[in-house]
Chain A
């Protein structure tokens, strides 16, 4: 996804300052706040949805994408983190019941 870096000028703002697109905050990414990156280990993940339910952004999504673990277990869906928005709070890392989320320092 690409993001508009500049704020809109007053000339392009609708009369009355109305915001015409609900949830347009999604145009401003917050991924660069992150110091640590949570990475879901898809093999370990039990698809319990706890991380999805507690994420304050939301930056964790349930994707209808099948996944086959290395031990042959078939899942109908996958949990994915959107790093455009994940601020790296670590709530999911802490709450995952099977410790399936690694927390790795961001390095440039």
Chain B
């Protein structure tokens, strides 16, 4: 992996915007934040592929587009296959001299959780296995939001969605979240990371690293969704931060399938109740339910600390 220069502060982020305002994402939708920062890092020589989902629908209702870089959408299930084709085409054009071979052109796919961990998974796995130089960014709002909050493989344990309802029998989702970033890591690609828009510089640097490798990279970004998670839009970043402070979301990276790092250590951890109680989708949870989730997270923290070889995530203190 060639070492890219990393950002040290917000002041180093480019001022140029490659996503225009006017788009129809909900007020306070952090997809906007994630994509704006991503495009700042990637710059104008970037081709973006999106599957169907909130980002695609909200940024491109004909005859408008919010994209200031080339953008393509084909279907819900095939963003990674389309991105593979775009990357292969760029390579061929450069080989034939029709596009300047010295020009570095980024191919970035940006998909939702439904489009990535469920329906687009086969295309994604194929892209990773074939080794295309594509950075795949997953914005994870933990449900199919664009069609009205249906459960996905990424929906967390016990969360309410319209297809994991809360009633006398069912109380939210029965299964835990699919560990997609680790499933991607099992493909042994050059770079895999998890990121959080509440830690903007960490996120920007992961985009930078993902774009610098000579092969596929995958960045899994948590994206609190005001509409589906049921919270006042002004608290989006707070909730994102709480996810990491409680270790419900751990920011890590894996370079060359070798070097594993937790990039945002949490020496003093908060109890998961702070994260859970801030969101309406968990309104039905009892204190026992929350303790069950806490025990699950404690185990997860132990496992991650073991992988790092030291205590990067500390005990619960508040």
A49 touches B24 (CB 8 A): no
Contacts known (A22-B69, A56-B33, A95-B237); A30 close to B22, Cβ less than 8 A: yes
**A53 touching B13 by the CB < 8 A rule?**
yes
Query: Which of chain B's residues 48-90 have a Cβ closer than 8 Å to chain A?
Result: 59, 62-69
Q: CA A30 – CA B21 in complex, angstroms?
A: 8
Asked if B37 CB lies within 8 Å of chain A CBs, one says: yes
The 0/1 profile, CB within 8 Å of B marked 1, for residues 81-108 of chain A is: 0101101111101110000000000000
Assess whether B200 is in contact with A88, with CB atoms less than 8 Å apart.
no
**A48 and B59 alpha carbons, distance in the complex (Å):** 29
What number of A-B contacts does a CB cutoff of 8 Å give? 113
Q: Can you list, as one digit per residue, whether each of A21-60 has a CB less than 8 Å from chain B (1) or not (0)? A: 0111111111001100000000000001110111111110
A48's contact among B10, B62, B235, by CB below 8 Å, is which? B10
A62–B17 Cα distance when bound, in Å, is 11
Complex Cα distance, B11 from A27, in Å, reads 29
Chain A proximity mask over B4-47: 1 for CB below 8 Å, otherwise 0: 00000011010101111111110111111100110000000000
Interface bin, chain A: 35 or more
Cα distance A47–B18 when bound, in Å? Answer: 22
Most chain A CB atoms below 10 A, which of B10, B33, B63? B63
The interface residues of chain A lying within 8 Å CB-to-CB of B24 are: 30
Contacts A29-B22, A49-B10, A89-B234 known; A22 to B65 CB distance under 8 Å?
yes
Contact in complex: A82, B63 (CB < 8 Å): no
Contact A56 B64 (CB under 8 A): no
- The answer to whether A17 touches B62, judged by C-beta atoms less than 8 angstroms apart, is yes
Measured CA separation A88–B232 after assembly (Å): 11
| Any B CB within 8 A of the CB of A7 | yes
Q: Is A19 part of the binding interface, using a Cβ–Cβ cutoff of 8 Å?
A: yes
B156 CB → nearest A CB, Å: 23
Partner of A91, one of B19, B21, B234: B234
In the complex, A27→B20 CA distance in Å?
10
Known contacts A62-B15, A89-B28, A94-B237; A57 and B23 CB within 8 A of each other: yes
Bound Cα distance A62, B255 (Å):
35
The 6 closest A-B pairs by CB, nearest first: A56-B32, A90-B234, A89-B28, A23-B20, A87-B27, A85-B21
Listed A/B pairs (18) with beta-carbon separation below 8 Å = A19-B64, A22-B67, A22-B68, A23-B18, A23-B65, A25-B59, A30-B22, A33-B27, A49-B13, A50-B10, A53-B200, A56-B25, A56-B28, A56-B33, A57-B32, A58-B32, A89-B233, A89-B234
